Amino acid sequence: MAKVLIPTPLRQFADKKDSVELTGATVAEVLGALTTQFPSLKKQLFTDEGKLRSFVNVYLNDEDIRYMQKDATPVAATDTLSIVPSIAGGAQ
Amino acid sequence: MNTPASLTKEEILRYSRHLIMPEVGMEGQLKLKNASILLVGTGGLGAPLGMYLAAAGIGRIGLVDFDVVDATNLHRQVIHGTKDIGRKKLDSAADTIADINPNVKIEKYDVLLTSENAMEICANYDLIIDGTDNFPTRYLVNDVCVLLKKPNVYGSIFRFEGQATVFATDGGPCYRCLYPEPPPPGLVPSCAEGGVLGILPGTIGLIQATEAIKLILGVGEPLIGRLVLYDALAMKFRELKLRRNPECPVCGDNPTVTQLIDYEQFCGLPQHEGPAAAEVNEGDVDPVEVKAMLDRGDDFILIDVREQHEYLICSIPTAKLIPLGDVAKRASEIDSSKLVVAHCKMGGRSAKAVAQLKELGFKKVRNMTGGITAWSDKVDPSVPKY
């Protein structure tokens, strides 16, 4: 089972969990399992057409999946998937 | 830049713990003295940045801010004090810096950084540090740095998590390589909405300050092509690889953005700043009207969609607490035949609750504008603001 790290802004859509263990052979399968478990995450991560939103980055261990095989990137049970969304805070 | 002159006797004593380190030494200290840094924002990140960079002996520091110090800033913006409430952040920050190190030349820009003024302001500095709090300014700072070929030392915070890296160095990635587009407005909460652990900007701001000093000195491994993620609760640092995207619209091989654009529009925001410009929607209801409805005994349901811990700070009597995240699954608790009025802290989350309820088939749902903050302003000043 691969580990998926959920960032703070998205935990409210995932029963406040910071990580979950999920099964899947590819990034798409793991993220599919994630949004099946937490349906309200789906709108946060994917467009209506089912594509990953452009302000949500997914990393397999320390590599951006955009520079691997994107959704089709294979995932091993020892891998960690990180969701890294934009945050803007700093001054206020 | 001017070539290094020399240090005064006072400066040699002041910087002696730098001077005796071979990694800095006289040569490095003169590099710091001849360096100039622009801090965009003198808030959470800008506070420790300004103080430590001044103490370290940066020769010239530019500050960009048009905001005024308020009480809610003080739990993290340590460059400002209680006595500074109501003062311009620029003046307060400049006073603190001058006290820490009178050798620093401070340049104040009492403006909002915009596409019109950013190139001119940033051109005067060796490197730019992004300590802003909103997406339009972050994309603006990024594009300016790419176009001017100046490093952008980036830091960002949310609740108890932070990110830091160095963008826009020669051949390195830029902010748009990481995030080609901003999230739509309202999807990512701001610090004012989401809260922030007061010490967090200290940690992230000092990572930025460290990187700025290293870039100037030319020592160590700069944080280029690496994004540091910090989780204060877990006390964990992680590092992700960043790559320059050859298809990046601003720093790619065939850039399509070759001059500054309208960043408010790019980020999907209305043209004017501030809540005053917020559109009044048909379904909106003013707190004064809600008070009148309560006083008249109108038959309606008032729901509070904030979190339990916020409800404990203050609440409106008769309001039923259903946090935004639970609205959809607890909708059956709300009588859909009645008028439903939703409120939160400022009006943002309750607007989302109204949209969710309408999607679920509720016909009469209205959003109380300005939330409990406006209730405190307009109806009951005894309700504390937070």
Q: How far is CA B19 from the centre of its chain?
A: 35
Q: Do B131 and A86 touch (CB under 8 A)?
A: no
Q: Which residues contact B310 (CB under 8 A, 6 or more apart)?
A: B345, B386
Q: Give the CATH H-level superfamily of domain B35-266.
A: NAD(P)-binding Rossmann-like Domain (3.40.50.720)
Q: What is the pLDDT of residue A92?
A: 46
Q: What is the pLDDT of residue B190?
A: 61
Pick from A30, A37, A33: nearest CA to A71: A30
Chain B nearest-CA distance from A23, in A, is 23
The topology (CATH level 3) of B278-378 is Oxidized Rhodanese; domain 1 (3.40.250)
Q: Do B182 and A82 touch (CB under 8 A)?
A: no
Q: Give the CATH H-level superfamily of domain A2-85.
A: Beta-grasp domain (3.10.20.30)
Chain B residues near residue A66 by CB distance under 8 angstroms: 245
In the chain, the amino acid numbered B383 is: V
Contact status of A39 with chain B (Cβ, < 8 Å): no
Q: Is the pLDDT of residue B83 over 50?
A: yes
d(C-alpha B105, C-alpha B59), whole Å? 6
Q: What is the mean pLDDT of residues B308-316?
A: 94
Decide: B268 and B187 in contact? Cβ < 8 Å. no
Q: What is the pLDDT of residue B193?
A: 67
Secondary structure (H, E, C), B315-360:
CCCCCEECCHHHCCCCHHHCCCCCEEEEECCCCHHHHHHHHHHHHC
In the chain, the amino acid numbered B29 is: Q
Q: What is the pLDDT of residue B278?
A: 43
d(C-alpha B270, C-alpha B257), whole Å? 21
Q: What is the mean pLDDT of residues B289-310?
A: 94
Please report, rounded to a whole number, the percentage of residues in chain B having pLDDT higher than 70: 94
Pick from B362, B383, B361: nearest CA to B372: B383
HSE value, Cβ hemisphere, 13 Å, CA-based, for B171: 0
Decide: B242 and B225 in contact? Cβ < 8 Å. yes
d(C-alpha A2, C-alpha A19), whole Å? 10
Q: What is the mean pLDDT of residues B241-249?
A: 95
Residue A51, phi-psi category: left (phi > 0), alpha (psi -120 to 50), beta (remainder): beta
Q: Angle, nearest 10°, between helix axes B46-56 and B200-217?
A: 40
Chain A nearest-CA distance from B9, in A, is 36
Q: Is the pLDDT of residue B271 over 80?
A: no
Q: What is the pLDDT of residue B343?
A: 96
Question: What's the whole-model pTM score?
Answer: 0.84
Pairing outcome for strands A2-5 and A19-22: antiparallel
What is the ipTM score, two decimals? 0.88
Report residue B66's pLDDT band, with 50, 70 and 90 as the boundaries: very high
Q: What is the pLDDT of residue B274?
A: 41
Report residue B261's pLDDT band, with 50, 70 and 90 as the boundaries: very high
Q: Which span out of A9-23, B40-54, B281-295, B318-332 was modeled with the highest average pLDDT?
A: B40-54
Size of interface A-B (CB pairs under 8 A): 110
Q: What is the pLDDT of residue A91?
A: 53
Chain B nearest-CA distance from A55, in A, is 5
Q: What is the pLDDT of residue B176?
A: 95
Q: What DSSP string runs through B93-109?
A: HHHHHHHH-TTSEEEEE
In the chain, the amino acid numbered B122 is: C
Residues of chain A with pLDDT below 70 are 90-92
A66: DSSP letter: G
When the pLDDT of each residue in chain B is averaged and rounded to a whole number, the result is: 92
Clarify whether B174 is annotated catalytic.
Answer: no
**Domain ranges (residues) in chain A:** 2-85
d(C-alpha B109, C-alpha B239), whole Å? 34
Q: Which span out of B213-227, B320-334, B347-361 was modeled with the highest average pLDDT?
A: B213-227
d(C-alpha B290, C-alpha B372), whole Å? 11
Contact status of A47 with chain B (Cβ, < 8 Å): no
pLDDT digits (tens, 9 = 90+) for B277-297: 344 566 899 999 999 999 999
Pick from A27, A23, A33, A24: nearest CA to A72: A27
**Domain ranges (residues) in chain B:** 35-266, 278-378
